[in-house]
Structure 1
Amino acid sequence: MPTVLVPLLLAFDQILKLWALENLSPVPRPLLGDLLYLTLVRNTGAGFGMLEGQAFLLGWVSLGVGSLLLYLLAQRRYAFWPTLALSLIAVGALGNGIDRLGRGFVVDYLDLGTSIPPIAHFPVFNLADVCVTVGAALLLLAPKRKRGF
């Protein structure tokens, strides 16, 4: 059942990115007071400024990871939580991979523009990034079974 989310979230990710390109600018626009802003960033690297200018290589790696996860999900039956987690990670990898190969950059638009010290300088991100983060957290927190997932 969680794998049904993959095409829906992937489409929603791409729609939001198209909307961001058409409607946002690099000037932050408040969304939730001083906590969350909408800020357009064209990211040619990976998170936290790593591998800047390597969009083509990162795009193929992202598509490879996303495709591998979908293949694994199709080949084997996992419990609910690991299936959801792997599906979310696949969405994130595929969504950002499509951007990197199709545009040459990832469209980021969610900005934690707050002065709270731990997140004051957090990079701008997108729905695909949220999917990867939530998926990874679910993998870490999911109840473990004795055999595999």
Structure 2
Amino acid sequence: MYALVPLLLVLDQVTKLWALEHLSPVPKPVLGDLLYFTLVHNTGAAFGILEGRSWVLGWVSLLVGAWLLWLLERRPPPLTAWGLGMVAAGALGNAIDRLGRGFVVDFLDLGTPFPLVANFPVFNVADSLVTLGVLVLLLARKR
């Protein structure tokens, strides 16, 4: 899993570069009303908290990512390693944005009318990796 972290980081950064080159703040439908591509420069954290504090969030993300890589070096069980690797890649991907650009590039926009996700924030691959990684870690803990 340790080797997968750089591949996930590349995937995150390539999709963000693509978004910066090809998207705008105007939502572009991808899957009907289910998914849009909408370019957002996020200077805060999820749901708009800590707006304008990118440098603080960047350093926190970098430290968390480095700590998770250190935990991976200790050779945890496979499912735990997958979860740690995904969260590490997501944290480091957003740290690169925050420290390098001053904002996180978000572009995945759930445009559904379903109540739970109707006003869901625009997100990116790194955010998805963090979410999936945490779910995998929760599953690993249950075993």
Question: Quick check: TM above 0.5?
Answer: yes
Percent identity at matched positions?
Answer: 65
Measure, in 2, the Cα distance between the counterparts of 1:49 and 1:34.
Answer: 23
Report the counterpart of residue 9 of structure 1 in structure 2: 8
Measure, in 2, the Cα distance between the counterparts of 1:61 and 1:27.
Answer: 31
Report the counterpart of residue 88 of structure 1 in structure 2: 86
Report the counterpart of residue 39 of structure 2 in structure 1: 40
**1:25-77 deviation per Cα after TM superposition (whole angstroms, max 9, x unaligned):** 00000111110100000000000000000000000000000011101111x12
Report the counterpart of residue 48 of structure 2 in structure 1: 49
Q: Structure 1 residues 143, 52: CA separation in 2 closer, same or farther (over 3 Å shift)?
A: closer
TM-score w.r.t. the length of structure 1 is 0.93
Structure 1 unaligned spans of 5+: none
Measure, in 1, the Cα distance between the counterparts of 2:38 and 2:76.
Answer: 38
SS of residue matched to 1:120: coil
Q: Number of matched residues?
A: 143
TM-score w.r.t. the length of structure 2 is 0.97
Matches within 5 A, 1:114-133: 114-133=112-131
Q: Which amino acid aligns with 1:70?
A: L
Report the counterpart of residue 60 of structure 1 in structure 2: 59
Query: Which 4+ runs in 1 deviate beyond 6 A?
Result: none
Report the counterpart of residue 103 of structure 1 in structure 2: 101
Q: Which amino acid aligns with 1:131?
A: L
Measure, in 2, the Cα distance between the counterparts of 1:48 and 1:5.
Answer: 28
Measure, in 1, the Cα distance between the counterparts of 2:54 and 2:141.
Answer: 35
